A and B are shown apart, each in its own frame.
Chain A
Amino acid sequence: MSWRPVKAVVGRELSKLFRQRARLISSMVRPMIWLLVIGSGVGSMLQGSQQEGYLTFLVPGILAMTLLFASLLSALTLVYDKEFGVMRMMMIAPIAHYWIVISKLIAATLTAMVQAILLLVLLLILGLISVKIAVMLLLPALLTAICCAAIGGLIAVWSKSIDNFAVIMNFFIFPVFFLSGALYPVNQLPAYLHYIVQINPFSYGVDLLKHAVPNVDTDFSITTDIAVLIGFSAVAILIACWRFSRESVHEPLFHRVTKRP
């Protein structure tokens, strides 16, 4: 197995990212709106020093959000490519089909990291974080990006068409984001929500990012975070590869039921 096909798939995604300026800019606007609107809005209900603390608390949260959206949406190009027929260019290539999944998830991770780094630069310019914190956030961001790509991969290999995009938004992205501790400390949540947060792998990414920012309370240990992120990602990627290699998954792509004369 040579890396050239993998590099080709990754290169295609990255060149698309840089070509679609609007996508890149909107990926920066979304977290800024959250930070400034939610941060200031909710923050205004808090008192004095707590106000500033909430803005700092939100930094790992919105970074995690950027990673989640970017990684997941990029992983979903597995479905887009199928819908537009381009997937067949990869399926007919002399590589095992699971390499397509792996390549797409590497691309998703890198796409997410590019956007995370842009956001960190923006936060630096705004004076919300220091260079040291920005650097400290990089490794946790990478692990979170891989975890989000793995979630995206799992969703993508079970999605039949991009029509269920709204379903994916409502049933995966929003719950995964809101039930993660990205916007509020987990330990203050009611017990039943607490459990949901604990089974959400994304929570551990958010938590690991929080560890990199001083004066932000965390819910799990660094070891737990890293173990869960790596463990979950490995299992999810294996399942996605297994599922994608089953050709019945692609049968609709090749076999359109035609009425016989």
Chain B
Amino acid sequence: MDSNLAIRTRGLTKHYGSQTTAVNNLDLDIEAGQFYGLLGPNGAGKSTTIHMLTTMTSPTSGEAWIDNKQVSANPVAIRGMVGLVFQDSALDRTMSIDENLQFAAAMYNLPPKQANERIDELLSVFGLQEKRKQKLLALSGGQRRAVDIARGVLHKPKVLFLDEPTIGLDLPNRRAIWRFVEQLRRDEGMTVFLTTHYLEEAEACDHVDFFQKGQLLSGGKPSTLIEQLAEYILEINSPDPQQTIAQLSPLFGTPIQEDQQLSFKIAAHDVDFFQLQKTLGDTISSMQWRRPNLNDVYLWVVCHPSKGNQV
């Protein structure tokens, strides 16, 4: 077995009851120190995967290893090696930041002195030293989430699991959270396993996999996936979409259509869009072209694989 793998799973499967298959035969190999993103819609099985990897639920079949330790055989040891930030806060709202983190640190068996230093260190990363004695209720959603992440990394885990860490946060707070995660990764070299459905946030990952209905679809390095998808994305709003499709399909292939909105992906890098705009003239209401991003990869590869666009 490759000793450099932080996370490895083979045939990992979870059924809830006889009807629901949350995760189906999942094989993952994630190298130590990687920033890994598991991307997919709500209900794809992302959280269940995280819960199986952190001993919060056991797989129906298959096996997982964290840092070469079998998860099912060593639940207590595994919990000491991983940090988990849940989708919604696990903190006690009636207690202060300090009390919450002291409590969590004690649960990890950190001696008080060491815990204090670590809490100081983390709160300064998050810019929350001043608020240390404040009740959690007095914090904003972003600050609370930051405390939640601090709680997840108190014991310097080898692997940090972040389950939709920015869900429900506004843009500045989301950016702030990503800065903290980046800094933690840089300072402590931990492997980060991320799930999100804000795909643009996953572009910083070393590797992403698309996940749907409990199964891996495809994946790779975000920049490579984007490069492989297309050179440009051309979006056209047309009052007569069928006519526009008839006109442009021979050039650019089948578009993704949502009502009057058409989205073509263009592999060629020398398309003269201004000429195209002139040609289309009044038949369309608007047109714009741009570089593709991870959202486009997701749309083309996961949502519309039938358009013949496997990466």
Contacts and interface: CB of A to CB of B under 8 A. Distances in A.
Question: Chain B interface residue count: which class?
Answer: 35 or more
B90 A86 contact: yes
A259 B43 contact: yes
A188 interface: no
A226 interface: no
B57 A255 contact: yes
A12 B86 CA distance: 21
A21 to B, nearest CB: 14
B266 to A, nearest CB: 28
Interface string B11-51: 00000100010100000000000000000011100011001
Interface string B46-89: 01100100101110000000000000000111011000101011
Contact of A85 (B48, B90, B95, B107): B90
Contact of A90 (B80, B86, B107): B107
Contacts of A9: 107
A189 B148 CA distance: 56
Contacts of A84: 92-93
A16 B88 CA distance: 23
B91 interface: yes
Given A12-B103, A85-B89, A90-B107, A255 B43 contact: no
A259 B57 CA distance: 20
B241 to A, nearest CB: 24
Contacts, number: 90
Interface stretch (A93-101, A110-118, A121-129, A235-243): A93-101
A4 B92 contact: no
A258 B42 contact: yes
B185 interface: no
A89 interface: yes
B252 interface: no
Nearest to B213: A260
A213 B236 CA distance: 90
A261 B212 CA distance: 10
B40 to A, nearest CB: 10
A260 B43 contact: yes
Nearest to B148: A89
A257 interface: yes
Nearest to B111: A4
A89 B103 contact: yes
Contacts of B99: 12, 15
Interface in B116-174: 151
Given A8-B103, A255-B48, A260-B43, A92 B88 contact: no
B90 A88 contact: yes
Given A254-B51, A255-B16, A258-B42, A95 B76 contact: yes
Contacts of B80: 94
A5 B48 contact: no
A91 interface: yes
B108 interface: yes
30 contacts: A4-B111, A5-B107, A7-B106, A8-B102, A12-B99, A15-B99, A16-B94, A85-B89, A86-B91, A88-B86, A89-B90, A89-B91, A89-B92, A91-B56, A92-B84, A92-B90, A93-B104, A93-B107, A94-B76, A94-B77, A95-B79, A247-B57, A254-B51, A255-B16, A255-B48, A255-B51, A257-B16, A259-B43, A260-B213, A261-B43
When A and B form their complex, which 9 residue pairs have the shortest distance between CB atoms, in order from nearest?
A8-B106, A94-B80, A93-B107, A258-B43, A88-B90, A94-B79, A260-B43, A89-B90, A86-B92
Given A91-B56, A94-B77, 8 more contacts: A4-B109, A8-B102, A85-B91, A86-B90, A92-B90, A247-B56, A257-B20, A261-B41
